[in-house]
Structure formats: structure tokens, C-alpha cells
Structure 1
């Protein structure tokens, strides 16, 4: 017999997996690799500060050489720029371009459309009730410190 907690966990995971599946379809259809999409989202989330290639390698668990290759592909498509740091010409500052930001916005729009379809089975009052219940759950536990991240894939704290 499945406990109530197990059933709740299963349902929450199912909703999360539906979102992940929609994200995978978007990434595939965008012509980006998963790593390129992740990097582009991360840069968009951090657009108000300088991001260096080494940081991208560390947060994604890849090598600096892999990040360099990945950034070249994004730069060729006009999604990012790389400029030398004023303090050290060997350090490259990476920024998302307006075109790259539009790609990320397209991802967000696509995910919102998928979520609207998913929750369309609930009327407005039921959606409000679900929001209130989930907000209570999130506020009461360690998840309260983590915010979802979008295309960047990593939770923001």
C-alpha cells in the first residue's frame, strides 16, 4: 500500500518530469545542445554581473576547454559576446546578447504555455488553492531557500 506521502511525492515528481520533458523538446527544437541551452540560461540569469569562462566550467562540471568550444558556438550564433577583462586580458568576460536573451525568453514562453496546458484541468479557484498549499509546503521546509531557475537549470539560492 502506498502512503499518502509517497503518493504526494509521486505526483509532484510527475509534474516536474512533465516540465523537464517539455524543456527537452524545446532544447532539441532550438538547435542548441543541452549544455549550450544551460549556459545561455545561466548567463541570462547573471546578466547583471561579469561571468568568466572558468565560472561556467566550475558550475557545469566541465573542463575549461569544453567551455571555450561551447562559447565559440554560442558566439558564432550571436548569442554571447566574449571580451577581455580590463584587469587581465587573459580572462574573458562572457555576456548574453539581446539575441541570446530572446532565445531564453522563447524558452520561458514555451514552458509557461506547457504549464498553462497542464494546469488547465483546474479552474481558477482550484489553481489558487493548489498555489496556497504548495506555498505552505515550500515555506515550511528546506526548499524555502531554493528558487527555480529556468533555462539555467541550477536552483538559485
Structure 2
């Protein structure tokens, strides 16, 4: 029997689960760091700062500046400089929203679409090196990560885990 059994402070199983969760967290952060470094390198090869590259990869249609700020986890005022840089490069344009001229939409230009394709192609090629697993393992990892992101099923009891 573990020393904390029956004390309400947890059991050996709880401690093991906590260690696994800590290890999972560390591994996910390490993989994320590798992916980020590869993304930044691919962006640099295309002459883009990481923030501009993030906007390009996430912009699939006209988007308000506020949405870009949410994607980048920054203040809307910071997005102005990022979009200015993309606009100077001819990769995006700003358009007024039909219903509210104060809201500016950021839209990819043809050159922006081309640069986005190049960036996505390069980052996908690099990501293949991170996830170099047999096909079934890749799919299993994908499915597990999708389940983690989806959260627990409705009505699931955290204690029944």
C-alpha cells in the first residue's frame, strides 16, 4: 500500500498518471518546438518573418484584422505592422467590409497565394521528418491528438478515466 493511500492526497496510481501526463506534456512541447523551428526556417528561406508567415499560412479567405490578432495571440495594433509588411511585399491587400467600412479585411493576392503554397509545401516536407513513423502509427497518433483536442466526451466523468 502506498504511503498516501487513504489520506485523500492521491494513490500510487494517481502519481503514475501524473508522471505520464508530465511526460506527455514535455514531449508535446518538444515536438511543438521542433515544428516551430522548422516553420521559422522555412519562412526565412522565403524571406518572411515568422509572424508574416503565420498570417499567410492561416489566411484562406478574407479575414478581419481582429481574427488575425486572435491567430497570432497578440493585440490588434500589432497586426497592423505585420499586415503592412505583407502589403509592401504585394502578398495581401486590405479591403473594407461591405457592412462596416471601419472593419478591414485582409485578402491574399495572387502572389500571396503562391507564397502560401510554397510555405505550406516546405513546412509539410519538414514536418514529415518529425513524424517519420510507419503509416499506421502516423494515423494512430493523428487520431489520438484529435481526441485530445476534441476534449472529453459529453457527460464523461473525469474520475472514471
How does the TM-score come out when normalised to structure 1? Answer: 0.65
Distance 1:30 1:87, change over 3 A: same
Figure out how many residues of one structure are paired with residues of the other and give that number: 133
Which one of 111, 127, 130 corresponds to residue 99 of structure 1?
111
Does residue 1:20 correspond to 2:36, yes or no? yes
Structure 1 Cα separation of the partners of residues 70 and 142 of structure 2: 32
CA displacement at 1:74 relative to structure 2: 0.8
| Matched position secondary structure for 1:39 | helix
CA displacement at 1:25 relative to structure 2: 0.9
Which residue matches 2:148?
Answer: 142
Does residue 1:29 correspond to 2:45, yes or no? yes
Does residue 1:62 correspond to 2:74, yes or no? yes
Residue segments in structure 1 that go unaligned for 5+ positions in a row: 146-157
The answer to whether the 8 Å contact 2:57/2:119 transfers is: no
CA displacement at 1:134 relative to structure 2: 1.7
Taking the TM superposition and a 5 Å limit, the aligned residue runs for 1:106-117 are 106-117=118-129
Structure 1 Cα separation of the partners of residues 75 and 46 of structure 2: 24
Q: Which has the higher contact order (CA 8 A, sep 6+)?
A: 1
CA displacement at 1:13 relative to structure 2: 4.8
Which residue matches 1:73?
Answer: 85
CA deviations over 1:37-64 (Å, ceiling 9, x no partner): 11222213xx1xx411233234434333
| Matched position secondary structure for 2:100 | coil
Structure 1 Cα separation of the partners of residues 50 and 20 of structure 2: 32
Structure 2 Cα separation of the partners of residues 77 and 98 of structure 1: 12
Which residue matches 1:133?
Answer: 140
CA displacement at 1:75 relative to structure 2: 1.0
Does residue 1:51 correspond to 2:57, yes or no? no
CA deviations over 1:61-115 (Å, ceiling 9, x no partner): 4333322222121111111111122222222221111211221211221122223
The answer to whether the 8 Å contact 2:64/2:104 transfers is: yes
